[in-house]
Amino acid sequence: MCRGWMKAFLFIAGIFIFCVSAQSFFPGNEAAASDLRRWRGEWPKTDFAKTSIDFNDIVSGGPSKDGIPAVNNPKFKSVDSITAIGNDEPVVSVVIGDEARAYPLQILMWHEIVNDQIGSVPLAVTFCPLCNSAIVFDRRLDGVVLDFGTTGKLRNSDLVMYDRQTESWWQQFTGMGIVGAYTGETLKMIPSRVESFAKFRKRAPKGRVLIPNSASMRAYGYNPYVSYDSSQLPFLYKGDLPSNLPPLERVVSVGGEAWSLRLLQNRGKIVVGDLVLTWETGQNSALDTERIREGRDIGNVVVQRKTDDGLEDAVHDISFAFAFRAFYPKGVIHVD
């Protein structure tokens, strides 16, 4: 099942690479104008007169609107009842108050967005496989609770989301509105971790774990982007590349400052002001082997800040270096 999907994926990818390449035969403004006419037909509610980006930077990732379906009615089971996730498989974990939930990358890989709520906080748990970016957002904005879906579009190889209330487009990597009524607005990020299932189970023995709404809907547990994180170049990306490390090497970023994962692995701990970054072994890469539970060990990262009450989890991201460079062109990546 997975191999068949992968063949289809590669076929579709080839078509869209051709289409993107074909646009180079036309002046950029003409290509953007053609796309805009088509998008207005597909997105009649979106206010394309409001934007903060160059439309030439938007490309199709392959699927259409909601072709990668967000999870809108998430189901959970207790952590001690889960058997389909390997001990070292990665999960996005969120702890709010006394509640802890884990969102396995083996599910997020196929859905990219989970609209959820923990206590009184409505969340959007997001993952862009092409950027290896896992970020959790508060879905509240100006008193409105937004619901998010996938546009099928990419910018800098990163997922472009949309809200179903105004159909504004949002950049997953930054949480910023880039097209439509919410252009210029920014979603609040909520501290989270990408950690092994075993680590989540140990620190949250009463936690809940996201399960598929239908186990046969996708090839859960499999990676459709085999060996992607060892590729030489990112997919559908035409921007500048970092000069001091490979484009698909992972970096740990806090705002506009980043540290290479290799540097953190070598040191084990980095302290910068009130910021504390630590690393230890025991987490599979989700973008390496065909089965996620067999991926190479890239380790677990924890990013915290010192407070008067001790250490608290800090908002951060573990992404590919090219994506950090694209969205933070003046940002610093520490490599030694």
Q: For residue 191, what pLDDT is reported? A: 98
CB under 8 Å to 318, separation ≥6 — which residues? 132, 133, 134, 194, 250, 251, 252, 253, 261, 301
Q: For residue 234, what pLDDT is reported? A: 97
Q: For residue 31, what pLDDT is reported? A: 55
Q: Is there a domain that residue 304 lies in?
A: yes
Any idea which residue has 């809940």 for tokens?
208
Q: Using CA atoms, how far apart are residues 316 and 249, in angstroms rounded to an integer?
A: 16
Percentage above 70 pLDDT, the chain: 90
Number of domains observed in the structure of the chain? 1
User: Burial level of 59, CB count in 10 A (0-12/13-18/19+)?
Assistant: buried
Do 188 and 90 contact (CB within 8 A), yes or no?
no
Residue 33: half-sphere exposure toward Cβ, Cα within 13 Å = 5
In this predicted structure, the answer to whether residue 11 has a pLDDT above a threshold of 50 is no
Question: How many other C-beta atoms are found inside a 10 Å radius of the C-beta of residue 81?
Answer: 9
pLDDT tens profile 301-334:
999 999 999 999 999 999 999 999 999 999 999 9
Do 105 and 288 contact (CB within 8 A), yes or no?
no
Q: Is there a domain that residue 257 lies in?
A: yes
pLDDT tens profile 60-118:
999 999 999 999 999 999 999 999 999 999 999 999 999 999 999 999 999 999 999 99
Q: Is there a domain that residue 24 lies in?
A: no
Q: Is there a domain that residue 259 lies in?
A: yes
Q: Using CA atoms, how far apart are residues 264 and 253, in angstroms rounded to an integer?
A: 12
Q: Is there a domain that residue 274 lies in?
A: yes
In this predicted structure, the answer to whether residue 155 has a pLDDT above a threshold of 80 is yes
Average pLDDT over the chain reads: 92
Q: Is there a domain that residue 328 lies in?
A: yes
From residue 262, alpha-carbon distances to 37, 141, 252 in Å are 45, 37, 10
pLDDT band at residue 33 under the 50/70/90 scheme: confident
In this predicted structure, the answer to whether residue 23 has a pLDDT above a threshold of 80 is no
pLDDT band at residue 34 under the 50/70/90 scheme: confident
In this predicted structure, the answer to whether residue 27 has a pLDDT above a threshold of 70 is no
Do 120 and 130 contact (CB within 8 A), yes or no?
no
Structure tokens at 264: 């953190």
Q: For residue 19, what pLDDT is reported? A: 43
In this predicted structure, the answer to whether residue 29 has a pLDDT above a threshold of 70 is no
Q: For residue 91, what pLDDT is reported? A: 98
Q: Is there a domain that residue 134 lies in?
A: no
pLDDT tens profile 252-278:
999 999 999 999 999 999 999 999 999
Q: Is there a domain that residue 290 lies in?
A: yes
Q: For residue 14, what pLDDT is reported? A: 42
Q: For residue 35, what pLDDT is reported? A: 86
Q: Average pLDDT of 19-45?
A: 67
Q: Which domain holds residue 245?
A: 228-334
